[in-house]
Structure 1
Amino acid sequence: MPQITVDYSDTLESAFDRAGFAWALHEATVGIAAAKPESCKTQFRPSAYTAFGYEDPGARGHAVVHVTIGLLAGRDEETKARLTEAVLELLRTHVADAAVTLHASAEVRDLDASYRKSDG
């Protein structure tokens, strides 16, 4: 915990500083949600196909980034909202000007009570 997943359009591949974003996001998660630094784990999943509204997907004029953060239960809604706002701000600073319209979103959710992890 926390389990962080970043889904993004592959058109951002060269414009998205993923390493810098992950580092800054881990710091924000520790500072805002009281997570342990060594517990922060982030996976980046590029998508080769992004559809937006009625635009021809081949035009590739839009890019999407959606960040999901799963935390153990116990954080209040204000903490979750502060973390999602921090995510959006970090995306603004870690995605360079791209030749596409960027649609960024974030969600913080409680991990299910069945959540378990294994190290090793």
Structure 2
Amino acid sequence: MPQILIDHSADLDFDRVGFVDDVQRVITEVIDTAVEDCKTVFRPAVHAAVGYGTTGQAVMLVEIKILAGRSVEQRAELSARVLALLESHLTVPTAIGVEITELERATYRFVHHPGK
């Protein structure tokens, strides 16, 4: 169920596999889910800027979508732990943000399409 969407400066060099492994582990520690249910998408941005784009900072924004019903405290803990992971994985000046959003249980659908 968790959807991990990672938007980042295209030229940002970081260990994607290591980061995903750590994020998925943290998610399973904070909310009731399994690593096998996590889905991650990296979306490199052709252009990313902080302010006027003169700082030279890279940008990384992480959104984790989870099913509704978790407490504010759980969501806050998850965002704080993911932020700490980002800080440990990034080696260049980077503007980073983390957001935990909720998927409405009544309307969210997901399937594993077998292909044709």
TM-score by length of 2: 0.89
Aligned counterpart, 2:79: 84
Aligned counterpart, 2:41: 43
- Post-superposition Cα deviations, 1:95-116, rounded to whole Å, max 9, x if no partner, equal 2x22xx3111101111133110
The Cα shift of 1:11 comes to 2.3
Amino acid at match of 2:48: T
Is this contact kept in 1: 2:49–2:59, CA < 8 A? Answer: no
Q: Secondary structure at the match of 1:11?
A: coil
The Cα shift of 1:51 comes to 2.3
Amino acid at match of 1:104: I
Aligned counterpart, 1:4: 4
TM-score by length of 1: 0.87
* TM alignment of 1:18-97, pairs within 5 A: 18-56=16-54, 61-95=56-90, 97=91
More helix by share: 1
Structure 2 residue runs without a partner (length 5+): none
Instruction: State, as a whole percentage, how many aligned pairs show the same letter.
Output: 39
Q: Provide the rounded CA distance (Å) in 2 between the counterparts of 1:30 and 1:38.
A: 10
* TM alignment of 1:103-114, pairs within 5 A: 103-112=95-104, 113-114=106-107
Equivalent residues, number:
112
Q: Secondary structure at the match of 2:11?
A: helix
Q: Secondary structure at the match of 2:33?
A: coil
When the two chains are superposed, the root-mean-square deviation of aligned CA atoms in Å is: 1.4
Poorly superposed stretches of 4+, deviation over 4 Å:
none
The Cα shift of 1:92 comes to 1.2
Is this contact kept in 1: 2:50–2:95, CA < 8 A? Answer: no
The Cα shift of 1:55 comes to 3.1
Q: Provide the rounded CA distance (Å) in 1 between the counterparts of 2:97 and 2:50.
A: 14
Q: Provide the rounded CA distance (Å) in 2 between the counterparts of 1:89 and 1:105.
A: 11
